[in-house]
Amino acid sequence: MKRNTDTDEPEAAPSRRDETTPANRAILVGIERKGDHSSWTIQDSLDELGQLAYTAGLSIADTTYQKLTHPNPSTYIGSGKVQELREMLLAEEVSYVIFDDELRPSQQRNLEKALGDNVRLIDRTRLILDIFRLHANSREGKLQVELAQYQYLLPRLTGLRANLEQQVGGSGAGPVGLRGPGETQLELDRRQVKRRIQTLRHSLEEVRTQRGQHRKQRERAGIPTVAIVGYTNAGKSSLLNALTGAGVLVEDKLFATLDPTTRRITLPGGREALISDTVGFIRKLPHDLVAAFRATLEGIKEAMLILHVVDASHPRAAEQIQAVETVLADLDVMRTQRLIVWNKIDILPWQVPPPALMPSHPEALAISAKTGANLGALLAKIEEMLAEDLVVVESVIPYNRYDLVGLVYEQGAVELREEKPEGIFLRASVPRELAERLAAASRGKLPSEKR
């Protein structure tokens, strides 16, 4: 067993406010699994947990962890470590104990009995859910977070009615609130919670239907879509802002932005595309949260190109790539074109990613969303990769179908244009659907229509 006493807070966590109170102080608790050969160490995991706590408004009083083959089925950590944690609570003035994994309901109950009622026990899943609740602004985002919170709460209702206020955050004291869906949960039984889950799923299914309609409209318009994905805090929102001037909030915090933003961009050759960011990924991302955000994540499935943004300055960049690709595999989008984008090279020596990262992704581009370095090259690469989904056509478009000429310039790349007596001759690379419309117009089978 080891206890980190070298510093008051994880090294990687941003600096806290100078004055802290017991109401916003926490102890972090984790497990180093014996036989785990991952390069992501327990300290890496606790550092990330500390950053999550910081995003939630907490400061770190201390950290502790234990080497175990697997979590103790009764109390997550061993009995000796529970006693040590009890002594730490007596020595430190804290209001929260945050565990680096999701606790089983039985583990939660046993730990509450062992550690007393004066401290709130939070696991990683609940902490992430509360951060998402704080940062969800759209109706869709709020529905998704609420659904995930109820799914997290449901198995914890049985036998916990006396302690339910603890589960949903009590009075919400402290900077985080940590309330869950709300104090009304105190009066709800399992049937009511299940009914609310069904209502939320129905509402999100309506959102999914609306997204499907919007997707069909985009497909008819022939505008390609590009999705920005990446580990949380990799710089996705910064990149979207740099490319489009979207004005999305950018903070040095995990999950600083939650609701996706979509903007139109014009590529160097004149073709237009839609580009959108998505919710950031993270190791140990709660499964219920991924399921709840299915409607939002479907934007990734609709994309013709995925930009995978990586913080090239992060010491665990390779592991973060793997965590993101695991989620992409779950979404069944690994066949979609993907481009690794090394971000934050402005803070790297020589402005290039570490050599260890380069061989596995030779096609990747290195950029800085902050300074704008190499963004022109990125736009050119996006255009090049999207062009792979275009077909070359030669078509004579009647003069009364000038709307189609405009679509060719908007959606494709024109190589040759000539004015002929029967219409405008174009040789161009265009989306397949537009190619079919041009062929029909050349044969005179489409009536004149307004764009």
Confidence of residue 91 (pLDDT cuts 50, 70, 90): confident
**Higher pLDDT pick, 402 / 126:** 126
Strand order across the 413-420 sheet: 390-397, 423-431, 413-420
Confidence of residue 368 (pLDDT cuts 50, 70, 90): very high
pLDDT computed for residue 183 by the predictor: 46
- CA torsion, points 127, 136, 307, 232, in degrees to nearest 10? -20
Per-residue pLDDT tens for 67-78? Answer: 999 999 999 999
CB 373 within 8 A of CB 351: yes
Q: In this structure, is residue 194 part of a structural domain?
A: no
pLDDT computed for residue 122 by the predictor: 94
Instruction: Report the range of poorest mean pLDDT among 6-15, 21-30, 115-124, 432-441.
Output: 6-15
pLDDT computed for residue 296 by the predictor: 65
What is the average per-residue pLDDT within 29-34? 93
Confidence of residue 353 (pLDDT cuts 50, 70, 90): confident
DSSP letter for 258, please. -
Q: Do 363 and 399 have their domain in common? A: no
Q: In this structure, is residue 228 part of a structural domain?
A: yes
pLDDT computed for residue 179 by the predictor: 46
* Closest among 364, 366, 435 to 404, alpha carbons compared: 435
Q: Do 25 and 157 have their domain in common? A: yes
Give the count of alpha carbons within 13 A of 372, CB side only. 6
pLDDT computed for residue 356 by the predictor: 78
User: Among 167, 190, 215, where does a domain finish?
Assistant: 167
Residues 261 and 98: their CA atoms lie apart, in Å, by: 31
Q: Do 365 and 307 have their domain in common? A: yes
What is the average per-residue pLDDT within 78-102? 92
Q: Do 112 and 257 have their domain in common? A: no
pLDDT computed for residue 222 by the predictor: 66
Confidence of residue 52 (pLDDT cuts 50, 70, 90): very high
Whether the per-residue pLDDT at 14 is higher than 50: the answer is: no
Domain that holds residue 420: 390-442
Q: In this structure, is residue 206 part of a structural domain?
A: no
User: Which residue, chain included where needed, has tokens 């910064």?
Assistant: 238
CB 425 within 8 A of CB 394: yes
What is the average per-residue pLDDT within 13-34? 71
What is the average per-residue pLDDT within 339-368? 88
Angle formed at CA 42 by CA 349 and CA 343, multiple of 5 degrees: 30
Strand order across the 272-277 sheet: 262-266, 272-277, 225-230, 305-311, 337-343, 365-366
Considering its fold, how many domains does the chain have in total?
3
Q: In this structure, is residue 212 part of a structural domain?
A: no
User: Among 135, 150, 167, where does a domain finish?
Assistant: 167
What is the average per-residue pLDDT within 345-368? 86
Q: Do 10 and 156 have their domain in common? A: yes
Per-residue pLDDT tens for 205-263? Answer: 888 788 777 766 666 666 788 999 999 889 998 999 999 886 665 666 677 666 678 88
Q: In this structure, is residue 180 part of a structural domain?
A: no
Q: Do 422 and 317 have their domain in common? A: no
| Contact partners, residue 236, CB within 8 Å, separation at least 6 | 228, 229, 230, 277, 278, 280, 309
Confidence of residue 450 (pLDDT cuts 50, 70, 90): very low
Q: Do 12 and 149 have their domain in common? A: yes
Q: What DSSP element (H or E) covers 61?
A: strand 59-68
Whether the per-residue pLDDT at 427 is higher than 50: the answer is: yes
Per-residue pLDDT tens for 153-180? Answer: 888 875 444 444 444 433 343 445 454 5
Buried/exposed code over 386-412 (b: 16+ C-beta within 10 A; e: otherwise): beeebeebebebbeebeebbebbbbbb
Q: Do 437 and 315 have their domain in common? A: no
Q: Do 369 and 398 have their domain in common? A: no
Whether the per-residue pLDDT at 6 is higher than 70: the answer is: no
Q: Do 369 and 394 have their domain in common? A: no
pLDDT computed for residue 444 by the predictor: 63
Confidence of residue 431 (pLDDT cuts 50, 70, 90): confident
C-alpha distances out from residue 133 to 29, 139, 175, Å: 23, 12, 14
What is the average per-residue pLDDT within 438-443? 79
Q: In this structure, is residue 152 part of a structural domain?
A: yes
Buried/exposed code over 186-224 (b: 16+ C-beta within 10 A; e: otherwise): eebeeeebeebbeebbebbeebeeebeeeeeeeeebbbb
* Closest among 227, 231, 234 to 370, alpha carbons compared: 234
Q: What average pLDDT does the structure give for the chain?
A: 80
| Contact partners, residue 90, CB within 8 Å, separation at least 6 | none
Q: In this structure, is residue 187 part of a structural domain?
A: no
Q: Do 140 and 233 have their domain in common? A: no
Confidence of residue 272 (pLDDT cuts 50, 70, 90): confident
CB 309 within 8 A of CB 226: no
Parallel, antiparallel, or unpaired for β 96-99 and 25-33? Answer: parallel
In sequence order, what DSSP letters do the residues of 207-230 get, joined into one string? Answer: HHHHHHHHHHHHHHHT--EEEEEE
In sequence order, what DSSP letters do the residues of 7-57 get, joined into one string? Answer: -SS-TTSPPPPS---GGGEEEEEEEEETT---SS-HHHHHHHHHHHHHHTT
Residues 441 and 447: their CA atoms lie apart, in Å, by: 8
Whether the per-residue pLDDT at 352 is higher than 90: the answer is: no
pLDDT computed for residue 161 by the predictor: 46
Residues 135 and 291: their CA atoms lie apart, in Å, by: 18
CB 69 within 8 A of CB 36: no
Q: Do 328 and 405 have their domain in common? A: no
Parallel, antiparallel, or unpaired for β 96-99 and 120-123? Answer: parallel
What is the average per-residue pLDDT within 123-150? 87
| Phi-psi map region of 387: left, alpha, beta (phi>0 left; psi -120 to 50 alpha) | alpha
pLDDT computed for residue 83 by the predictor: 94
Structure tokens belonging to residue 311: 């913080």
Confidence of residue 19 (pLDDT cuts 50, 70, 90): very low
**Higher pLDDT pick, 306 / 440:** 306
pLDDT computed for residue 66 by the predictor: 95
pLDDT computed for residue 35 by the predictor: 79
Instruction: Report the range of poorest mean pLDDT among 129-133, 183-187, 283-287.
Output: 183-187
Identify any residues that bridge with 342 across adjacent strands, giving them in sequence order.
310, 366
Q: In this structure, is residue 177 part of a structural domain?
A: no
Instruction: Report the range of poorest mean pLDDT among 187-191, 269-273, 284-288, 414-418.
Output: 187-191
